[in-house]
C-alpha cells in the first residue's frame, strides 16, 4: 500500500538498529498516526505524522500522542542503510 497524505501508519522507533518490528513485548517501540504530508526542509523527505498511539517497551504511553513526528520517507539512504521503518496499517483487519 502506498503511503500518502491521510494514510494511517505505524513508524518503528528502533528498527534500523536491529530491534525489529515487534508489536508486543519489551522490544515493541513505535507510534501510530495519520500522515499529514511530506516535508523536505532538511535535505531529505520526511513523513509528517500526527501521533494517535505511542507504544514504548510494549506499553501504551501518552508522551507522544497528539505530537508530530518526522521519520524519513521509506527508501531514503541513511547511515544504517535504506529506510523502511514506516508501514501502512491495513484497517480491514
pLDDT at residue 18 in the model: 59
What's the CA gap between 24 and 27, in Å, rounded? 7
- Give this prediction's pTM: 0.88
Give CA–CA dist 73/32, Å, rounded.
15
> Per-residue confidence of the chain (93 residues) as pLDDT tens digits?
789 999 999 999 876 555 678 899 888 899 999 999 999 988 899 999 999 999 999 999 999 999 999 999 999 988 878 888 999 998 764
pLDDT of residue 42: 85
Q: Where are the alpha helices (DSSP H) in the chain?
A: none
- Report the half-sphere exposure of 74 (CA within 13 A, side-chain side): 14
Report the SS3 class of residue 27: coil
With CA atoms as reference, report the closest residue to 31 among 92, 89, 91. 89
Amino acid at each position: 500500500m502506498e503511503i500518502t497524505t491521510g494514510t494511517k501508519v505505524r513508524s518503528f522507533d528502533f528498527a534500523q538498529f536491529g530491534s525489529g518490528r515487534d508489536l508486543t513485548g519489551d522490544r515493541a517501540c513505535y507510534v501510530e498516526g495519520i500522515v499529514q504530508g511530506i516535508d523536505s526542509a532538511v535535505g531529505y523527505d520526511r513523513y509528517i505524522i500526527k501521533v494517535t498511539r505511542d507504544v514504548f517497551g510494549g506499553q501504551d504511553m501518552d508522551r507522544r500522542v497528539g505530537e508530530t513526528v518526522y521519520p524519513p520517507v521509506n527508501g531514503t539512504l541513511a547511515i544504517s542503510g535504506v529506510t523502511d521503518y514506516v508501514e501502512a496499517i491495513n484497517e480491514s483487519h
